[in-house]
Homo-oligomer: A and B are copies of this chain.
Amino acid sequence: MQRFINNPDQVVEDTVRGFVKAHADILRLAQNPRVIVAKNAPIAGKVGVVTGGGSGHEPGFMGYTGKNMLDAVAVGELFSSPTAKSFHDAIREANGGAGVVCLYGNYAGDNMNVKMAIKLAAKDGIEVATVVANDDVCSAPPAEREKRRGVAGEIFMWKIGSAKASEGASLEEVRAIAQKAIDNCRSIGVGLGPCTLPAVGHPNFQIEPGTMEVGIGHHGEPGVRVEALKTAEEIAKDMCKIVLDDHNLPAGTEVAVLVSGLGATPLNELYILNDTIEKEIVGRGLVIHKTYVGNYFTSLEMVGATLTVLALDAEIKPLLDVEAACTIKL
């Protein structure tokens, strides 16, 4: 992999510095250089909304900081959880006196560090509620949904939770709507090519040319099968089948659709996938309210794409539509 980097061990420092410079209109760096804070945060009386996760998924996680979006984000090393201290500092930065909700993905390191951060925040007198995203269908069977990983569905959880908080809702109300948002999400990833951590220098998993991995995780976690690379149409149909069979939504349900590249897949290919995805979703009698296509949640230079389908209802839909200002169009 040919890269624009300096010291491979300082990729995150360099990224964060360049990121904060680019987006100083909407965010700032906290005293802890691993915490990004919305420019207007904390807002007195508003529930703070926080997330955190490993780097290498840009614009996830830090790119979703902003107005009517996340108040603070804890930044981890590449593909590693932020420290408990960083989660704790993010919580403090977001605290406007009405409690803080931490909306994060189901990974062992994040679970552990958020738990520790909550204990530290309790000493500051800050009440913290959590929602753990588990939208990645292929990472565990339906009966063990709580074991599933959190992936791009987190973006919907953040947007809907943040919009609710901006309305002046209570900590419990914000937690509940964020929980509902992620409960209403199902995602799947398909990998066509691996990625390499710069400091390691070789891919941390393999995808042989001519094959693809269906159900792959954002760090190359194994999916449900490796098979011969198919056409975009066949792949999109597979992705929809896996997501929608698990979702099992009644006809007429309105949905939001997110097709994200994993880093090195050209945008035109994501649109090619979307052409079939739309057909499949509409073919099941569902109604697409909004579609997002782009690099929303990536994994360094992984070649591949994810599909997330969010089921809307009268409560969630207007919150999804609340205008937000972060680093990417939502």
Contact = CB atoms under 8 A, between A and B. Distances in A.
Interface in A267-292: 267-278, 290-292
Contact of A231 (B5, B55, B270): B5
Interface bracket on A = 35 or more
A292 B294 CA distance: 16
Nearest to A301: B266
Interface in A1-27: 2-6, 11, 14-19, 21-23, 25
> Chain A at the B interface: mostly helix, strand, loop or mixed?
mixed
Contacts of A294: 295, 328
Nearest to A211: B2
A277 B192 CA distance: 33
Contact of A267 (B23, B192, B298): B298
Contact of A209 (B2, B15, B192, B298): B2
A301 B264 contact: yes
A275 B2 contact: no
A266 B63 CA distance: 14
A301 B268 CA distance: 10
A327 interface: yes
B11 A272 contact: yes
A52 interface: no
A115 B108 CA distance: 61
Nearest to A275: B18
A2 B212 contact: yes
B275 A17 contact: yes
A284 to B, nearest CB: 15
The 6 closest A-B pairs by CB, nearest first: A18-B275, A18-B271, A2-B192, A264-B264, A18-B274, A58-B267
